[in-house]
Amino acid sequence: MSKFDTEDRPKILAIGAHPDDCDVKAGGCAILWARAGCVVRFVSTTNGDAGHHEQSGEKLAERRKAEAKAAGEVAGIEYQVLDNPDGQLVPGLEQRWELIRLIRSFRPDLILTHRPNDYHPDHRYTSQLVQDCSYLIGVPNICPDSPRLEAAPVMAYFWDEFKKPMPFKTDVAVDIDSVMDTKLRMLDCHASQFYEWLPWIDRHGIQMPDNPGQRLEVLGSFMRQFNRPSEEAREFLKRYYGDAQGVAVVSAECFEACEYGAMLDGAAIRRLFPFLGDV
């Protein structure tokens, strides 16, 4: 049951570079947002057509689009995949105009994306594009065919482990233990990635067994390690959920405020993350 009137429902827009990025970084929150009655859209700025060692091109792009659609259905959210080639994204004007129109059409209260320091150029340039849009979405003479946003949305970054030039700072941490099994079902939809490509490229230490029946269990172990809260995140969790629950959280999703958007203060956190406890 939604806790919001229809016109007051927070609108959450997560923009990742590839068709599984948002699921990894914010899939648990997406499920919680959807259950709370928020409107949630995941966007992939590329079509994922290079993310495999045996498939490529249109066939792979269609497969990954179908995987994203299935993951969105699991979470109860909308999933949009743009048609920019994987590994070739650039922060150009055409891509900026496309994203400005997309953001204005959706009219989000919160935008999530990658941080600008990242090993993957598609991640970096997705972040750059979102930042480039942050001011221009309110400028009426830019893309005048789409109505400007009168108020800036809050913007925040997905968690990552990169330390230079600045390490991630936790401004929000969310307990996702109650929906972790559902998040794993979302990730399970991306079979091309978690069961094929990522184990093959071996950058993230994902080792999948040959037995398909054991793969979800192994994925769960990996993701619980991936979503283990830092000590900084643990302090936020204790503040919002209470000491006992905050200490007990196994899996959390964390976000860092981006100064280009509206203020992510206590009131904004309570509205945009309605499943958190009171401060």
Pairing mode of beta strands 39-46, 78-84: parallel
Q: What is the pLDDT of residue 160?
A: 97
Contacts of 266 (CB under 8 A, 6+ apart): 279
Domains in the chain (CATH in brackets) are 9-175+253-272 (3.40.50.10320)
Residues of the chain where predicted confidence (pLDDT) is lower than 70: 1-7, 277-279
Q: What is the pLDDT of residue 247?
A: 97
Q: What is residue 257's DSSP assignment?
A: E
Amino acid code (one letter) for 254: C
Amino acid code (one letter) for 71: A
DSSP 67-120: HHHHHHHHHT-EEEEEEEPTT-----HHHHHHHHHHHHHH--SEEEE--S--SS
E-assigned strand segments in the chain: 11-16, 39-46, 78-84, 110-113, 154-158, 172-175, 252-257
Q: What is the pLDDT of residue 1?
A: 46
Query: pTM higher than 0.85 for the full model?
Result: yes
